[in-house]
Chain A
Amino acid sequence: MSKRPINTYASFIFVFCSIMVTMRPIALIAGQVEVERVPLNTAVQAFDEGTTSLLDGNFGAAIAAFEKADQSGWASAELYYNMGLAYHRLNRFGLAVQYLEKAKRIAPDDPKILHSLTVAAHRQADRFSQLPRPFWQKMHVWVENQLPIGVAFWIGIVLWFGLVALITGKLLSHWHGEWWRRARILLGVSSFLLIFYSLTTSAWPPTNERAVILSTEARMHDIADESSDEVLRVHEGLVVLVKNRSTDWALIEVANGSRGWVEANLLGTI
């Protein structure tokens, strides 16, 4: 049995990746939907209008203005925080938590947001222990925090261009030494790993979609059917992980690992 040279395997991988990489943008361009985005100053004006209403105690008008800013296609932690505060003043606890969590996603270390979330957590009716996460998931999250996917992708692209430059030099000039070969291998492997990591992490993030219970009480069912057995009863403002979705139902997981199906319209996505 003859042994194939390493260049043959590299060529196979190269051709396969090229086909995949070629097909994907075609599909994306074909299915692209134009998103209308209003100018930023419209969003800022709506935010200011909502903040004034909130200061005046006109919470309904404040929410209407903040929603206008939210629907403009722009977002900020301050906008979401103020929306959460307005809903809190109207005793819409679930929506308040939903927008505080949205604010935290943008500004995870902001003390105001963290304080308000702590207050909200004390008011939430459910108490569940936190199930330890598997080490690989922790590691994935740690890597993502240390090396954001956008940064990893751009480094990968720069290295990929460098690799192409080295191969071109080899073909057209006399860059044939051992060090050139090592440089090509290093750039090839590192660019592939970085681009692969960034795209796969973007498609399959290490943490599931999170959502908040919006109704006063929600029943978790064994299967996605109203008449099925009740697994658990959770209450407004609880943050859950969404493991799966169907048209009208969502499979959620609470902190202690209990899972069940709830009606999808009872959840507010973070």
Chain B
Amino acid sequence: MKESLFRLIWILLLGMVSTTSLVVAQTANVQASISSNTIGTEESVTYTISVSGSDGSNLETPTAPESDGLTLIQALPSTQRSVSIVNGQMSQSFSFSWIYRPTREGSTSIGVATIKVGSTEYHTSSASVTVVPQNQRQTQRRQTDPFSSLFGNTTDPNPEPPPAPDENDIFIRATPSARSAYQGEQVIIEYQLFFREGIQLRQSRLTDSWDAEGFWREELDVETRPIPRIVIENGLRYNTIVLKRAAVFPTRAGEMSVDPLKIESEALLPFGSRDPFQSMFSLRNRFSQVQLASPRISIDARPLPADAPPNFDGAVGKYAMTVTADRTNLNVGESIQLSITISGKGNLATLSSPTFVVPNSFDLYDPEISSVLERSGKELSGSKTFRYVLIPRSNGSFEIPPIEFVHFDPGTKSYRSTKTDSTPITVTGTATTPDVVVATTNGMPVDDFAPLFTSASNWKEASPTSLHDSYWVYLLVLFPSILLLSVVVVKQRRDKFTQDISWARGRRAHPLSKKHLKQATALLAAGNVPGYFEELERAVLGFIGNRLNVAERGLTREKLDSMLAAKGVEMELRDRLRTLLDSCDMGRFAPSSVTPENMESALDDASSLIPDVDEQVAP
């Protein structure tokens, strides 16, 4: 019992000693920062020393550092302790702050401070401060009545504009992994947003599409909800987050540039208005629009060395290759899957398959290509697999020759070749499998397709037009209909000719008169005067008789005149007709008194009279 008690005390003591040793052995991190490196003559600057990595038990309060152009407002620092727990690990940090006021304009500095953590002394670096006239710092120091926003003047026509941050308060830094690279080499560009501690950002978005002409680009993953990290830049404390990380690969040699990354955001500055009520009630208005752009990055792409091996196909990076065959013993007609996998860091998207030859009796099909890209790391890496299907068409022992993959390694600045061993393949069986299977009683193989046809007959159109889609079908149906319609029309016309004499004579009037006029012309040429005038009279009277549906024989001049008058023929036309008929009578019975001019005139009169009469007696 006593021994056990001693052992327990001994263990506890050992534990205490080792814990103390751990604390002492811990390395503290000491940083000094100032609230602003440019202040007005009426402003003040806060100097802060932060200590992390210490539990505070062995920490001595430091004294404020000296400064020749600044005076300390109070010697005792204000202290702060913050505790954070990340992944179950608790950490503490302590800060000591002093406020200085300027005693003169111009550049000055706050000297080196010394702080003792345990037995170790730490020294900070000095911080530079520029003191400018107060009128240059108007937006920072507008004095306002704290009660004005509560008691009247709420509709100020010229409200105080929200203070805008300058390029020291918030900016984007673009960091390329290299300023000079080989053509095709991977260069990582990281865009970080820096903003002063206390600045609040909201509604941040990319304003322009980011472009990098002359580069193949691949995006790498960044935190979608990043936790800002605190860094000190030029003595000032900044929060920083990674906005974008991209892998770019120069596609040609030469000096090329990457466009700036542009973002737009709304920022709230903690050192804006000092009116507490305004700060409380018009928070929304105090956000100001900021537009940020990273600097343009220039990258010098160098051409690859000229001594490239013959199998080099443009692959640049750090790669390894593996080749696997899913089987090496198979039958004729079965397939082998040959997988070539290239893995490593580089531009996998543009990698092409290594070329290789297969035995002549193998069919090689186009590969199936799949890629796996790892974007979560600091560089783009992954693997690309080319799966080929090979089918042997004869049996025997074969060998797939070694496959070589050549790439340029920018790390060693040399071309590297990876070569696999040859792959032996054993193919058994025969090509004409159906010949060796057992046949059934009707000559067909058991459990296999019947043998092939060695000749083909009865060829036909592969896809003849359907019956209902062929136009000739409809024309064939339509043709008898048209034939039938024609027969009906002819039959009706024939019936009308026989049954309607008036219509038939009317239809015949023109052809008959034309026939008589033609005969009269012939008689005129032959010099037969009486015959000429007889035909002329027959042409005119025959036409009128047919039109009026009366027999022209025995038709007296008076009766003809009265019938034409009854049909509405004008007096002038009837007179012309009478004159023409008189001329015809004279020509028939006293031919010697007729001159050739009279005869031609009579023919013209008759030719013009017939259509005029036709027009006036037409129904």
A and B: bona fide binding partners: yes
Interface residues of A (CB under 8 A from B): 14, 18, 21-22, 24-25, 28-29, 32, 37, 40, 43-44, 47-48, 51, 54-61, 70, 72-79, 81-82, 84-85, 88-91, 96, 106-107, 111-113, 115-116, 119-120, 122, 149-150, 153, 157, 160-161, 163-164, 167-168, 171-172, 195, 198-200, 202-203
Interface SS majority for chain A? helix
List B333-385 residues whose CB lies under 8 Å from chain A.
333-335, 363, 365
Closest partner residue, chain B, to A164 (CB atom): B480
Write the chain A residue with the least CB distance to B488. A171
Bound CA–CA A43/B456 (angstroms) = 10
A21-B478, A89-B333, A164-B480 known; A59+B460 contact, CB < 8 A? no
Do A111 and B444 touch (CB < 8 A)? yes
Beta-carbon contact of B450 and A44 below 8 Å: no
Binds A, one of B86-94, B468-476, B572-580, B610-618: B468-476
Whole-angstrom CA separation of A44 from B365 in the bound complex = 26
**Residues of chain A lying within 8 A (CB to CB) of residue B476:** 157
Shortest A254–chain B CB gap in Å is 24
Tell me whether B477 is interfacial, beta carbon within 8 Å: yes
Let me know if B431 and A167 touch, CB within 8 A.
no
When distances are taken between beta carbons in the complex, the residues of chain A under 8 Å from B592 are none
Separation in Å of the B122 CB from the closest CB of chain A? 63
**11 A-B pairs with C-beta separation under 8 A:** A22-B474, A24-B474, A28-B471, A57-B430, A61-B363, A73-B462, A73-B463, A111-B450, A112-B453, A119-B449, A199-B467
Extra contacts besides A79-B456, A91-B335 (13): CB < 8 Å:
A25-B473, A48-B455, A57-B432, A58-B363, A60-B391, A74-B459, A76-B456, A111-B450, A112-B450, A112-B451, A115-B442, A115-B444, A153-B467
Residue of B nearest to A55 (CB): B432
How far is B455's CA from A78's CA once the two chains are assembled, in angstroms? 7
- Given contacts A24-B474, A28-B470, A161-B480, whether A85 and B452 have CB atoms under 8 Å apart is yes
With A22-B474, A58-B363, A60-B391 as known contacts, state yes or no: A75 contacts B488, CB within 8 Å: no
Contact in complex: A40, B459 (CB < 8 Å): yes
Min CB distance B195 to A, Å, is 43
**Are B444 and A59 neighbours in the complex by a CB distance under 8 Å?**
no
From A79, which residue of chain B is reached at the shortest CB distance?
A: B456
Q: Which residue of A lies closest to B446 (CB)?
A: A119
Q: How far is the CA of A248 from the CA of B334 in the complex (A)?
A: 33
Q: Which residues of B contact A74 (CB under 8 A)?
A: 459-462
Q: Across the interface, do B452 and A59 meet the contact criterion of CB distance under 8 Å?
A: no
Mark interface residues in B535-572 (1 if CB within 8 Å of A CB, else 0). Answer: 00000000000000000000000000000000000000
Smallest CB–CB gap between A119 and chain B, Å?
6
Q: How far is the CA of A61 from the CA of B364 in the complex (A)?
A: 11
Tell me, rounded to whole Å, the shortest Cβ–Cβ distance linking A186 to chain B: 16
Which of B460, B462, B476, B488 has the largest count of A CB atoms less than 10 A from its CB? B462
Q: Which of A61, A82, A160, A172 contacts B452 (CB 8 A)?
A: A82
Which residue of A is nearest B440, CB measured?
A: A115
Q: How far is the CA of A122 from the CA of B90 in the complex (A)?
A: 69
Known A21-B474, A25-B471, A28-B469: A57·B487 in contact at CB below 8 Å = no
Q: A21-B477, A90-B391, A112-B453 are in contact. Are A57 and B332 (CB under 8 A)?
A: yes
Given known A-B contacts A51-B453, A59-B363, A167-B484, A106 and B474 have beta carbons under 8 A apart: no
A56 with B491: CB separation less than 8 A: no
The residues of B that contact A150 with a CB separation of less than 8 Å are 467
Whether the pair A25, B474 counts as a contact (CB closer than 8 A) is: yes
- With A18-B478, A168-B487, A172-B487 in contact, do A44 and B456 touch (Cβ < 8 Å)? yes
Contacts A21-B477, A57-B333, A61-B363 known; A164 to B467 CB distance under 8 Å? no
The minimal Cβ–Cβ distance linking B361 to chain A, given in whole angstroms, is: 8
The 5 A-B residue pairs with the shortest CB-CB distance in the complex, in nearest-first order: A57-B431, A78-B456, A78-B453, A112-B450, A25-B471
Q: Contact between B466 and A202 (Cβ–Cβ < 8 Å)?
A: yes
Asked if residues B467 and A198 are in contact (CB atoms below 8 Å), the reply is: yes
Closest A residue to B431 by beta carbon equals: A57
Cβ of B481 < 8 Å from any Cβ of A? yes
Looking at the assembled complex, report how far the CB atom of A85 sits from the nearest CB atom of chain B, in whole angstroms: 5
- The complex places the Cα of A161 from the Cα of B72 at a distance, in Å, of 123
Chain B, residues 155-192, CB within 8 Å of chain A (1/0): the string is 00000000000000000000000000000000000000
Q: Cβ of A54: which chain B residues have Cβ within 8 Å of it?
A: 452
Q: How far is the CB of A132 from chain B (nearest CB, A)?
A: 28
Q: What's the Cα separation between A90 and B471 when bound, in Å?
A: 43
> Once bound together, how far apart are the Cα atoms of A18 and B393, in whole Å?
62
Our pick among A70, A82, A119, A199 for the contact of B453 (Cβ within 8 Å) is A82
| Nearest chain B CB to A77 CB, angstrom units | 7
- How distant is B182 from chain A, measured CB to nearest CB, in Å? 41
A29 contacts which chain B residues (CB < 8 A)? 471
